[in-house]
Structure formats: structure tokens, C-alpha cells
Amino acid sequence: MQMHPDVNKILFTEDEIKAHVARLGAAIDRDFAGEDVIIVTVLRGAAIFSADLARAIKTVPVEMDYMAISSYGASTKSSGVVNIQKDLSSPITGRNVIVAEDILDSGLTLSYVLENLAAREPKSLTFMPLFIKKGVQKVHIDVDYPALEIPNEFVVGYGLDYAEKYRNLPYLAVLDPKVYSK
Ligand code: PRP
């Protein structure tokens, strides 16, 4: 496979990601048979994953909804407190909500988002990250479905960016340090 010149190692290929997303879609079809689900996407990184996940669900009816959040300042990543810039378009009370996330990192931002969604009293709330950075979580978040584990390195691709670039790479790769040490 042709690698982008700014990355130096592919951790998960396009085919490996596709196979994993297909398994997650099949698991949703199995576990939510006879029900319907809303896939919630927290912009922007998760948009690629959620679009593929939705298409990997073959039988369960799917709705898609989106949230945009922003930090209150530089401390956000350590406090997890976020500002909701764009809220969901529809209520989720009594619904099966699946939060499709690209990556579980510290978990701080995501636990805040999940608490916010739980307060709206959905019928079920499932957190489904595609990738998990090993050993860096600062809070515990339940993950009910298998995720692809990655080391604590600067990764890009499949939705993940560096300075808003590389989200379009179809694989997950380690960014070459030459790019950010310039
Ligand atoms: C990243 C990533 C997850 C979140 C993980 O998003 O896409 O959504 O952070 O954070 P946590 O595990 O530390 O709580 P980012 O804030 O970089 O925004 P983006 O999706 O627009 O790239």
C-alpha cells in the first residue's frame, strides 16, 4: 500500500478497519434486533467512522445525529469541560443511542459528553469507540464492544487529524515526528 510521506508506520490498514467496522455493525444488528438506534457523532473526527458504521448496520433502522463541542480554553483536555456548540437535532429520551467515536484517549471530554447524554434519559446509551489508546485513560468509561488498541503515539488518519490534516487517510498511521517538529 502507498503510504503518505508524512506518516512512518501504518497501525491498521484500510481492510483491517473495514473488517472491524463490519463486525461492529453486525453486533448492533444482533444486539438491537427488533429495535432502532440513533448514532450520535461528536464532530469532527468521528464523522468518518460513524458514516461507515451506519452502512455496516444491515437490518436495524438507523438515525444519524450530530453534536459539535468546543473547549472553554487551553485547559479543556485536562478538565474535560466542554461547551456544546451544536446540539443534537432531535430528542433522545427513550431511544437507543450509540455514540460512535473515533478514539478514546484520556476519556475526560467523552465522559462529560456521555454524562450530558445520559441526563436526557435515553433507553440505552452505548459508547462505541473505534480506537483506544492503551493506558492513557484518566477516567473509567465502560466500553461494551471491542475496540482496536493503539499505543500512545501521535496517530492520524480515518478521521484523526494533525492541524486539521490527514483525516482523509483511509488507514490509521503514526505521524512522522518531522511534521510536528518543523
Ligand atoms: C478527539 C477525538 C475524540 C476526543 C477524545 O477529538 O476525536 O473525540 O478527542 O478525547 P478524550 O478521550 O480525551 O475525552 P478532538 O477534540 O481532537 O476534536 P476533532 O474530533 O474535531 O478532531
Give the pLDDT band of residue 73 (cuts 50, 70, 90).
low
Q: Ligand 1: which residue has its CA nearest to atom 20?
A: 45
Ligand 1 and 101: CB distance under 6 A? yes
Q: pLDDT for 117-162, tens place per residue?
A: 999 999 999 999 999 999 999 999 999 899 999 999 999 999 999 9
| Class (C level, CATH) for 14-153 | alpha beta
pTM for this model (two decimals): 0.94
Give the pLDDT band of residue 82 (cuts 50, 70, 90).
confident
Ligand 1 and 28: CB distance under 6 A? no
- Asked if residue 75 has pLDDT above 60, the reply is no
Start-to-end Cα distance in the chain: 26
- Asked if residue 103 has pLDDT above 60, the reply is yes
Ligand 1 and 137: CB distance under 6 A? no
Q: Strand (E) positions, the chain?
A: 7-12, 37-43, 62-71, 82-86, 96-104, 124-133, 148-150, 155-156, 172-175
Q: How far apart are CA 95 and CA 38, in angstroms?
A: 7
Select which of 29, 36, 52, 105 is catalytic: 105
How far away, in angstroms, is 45 Cα from ligand 1 center? 7
In DSSP terms, 129 is beta-bridged to 101
Write phi, then psi, for 18 (nearest 5 degrees). Answer: -60, -45
How far away, in angstroms, is 29 Cα from ligand 1 center? 27
Ligand 1 and 106: CB distance under 6 A? yes
Q: Ligand 1: which residue has its CA nearest to atom 17?
A: 45
Evaluated on CA atoms 80, 99, 48, 17, the torsion sign reads positive
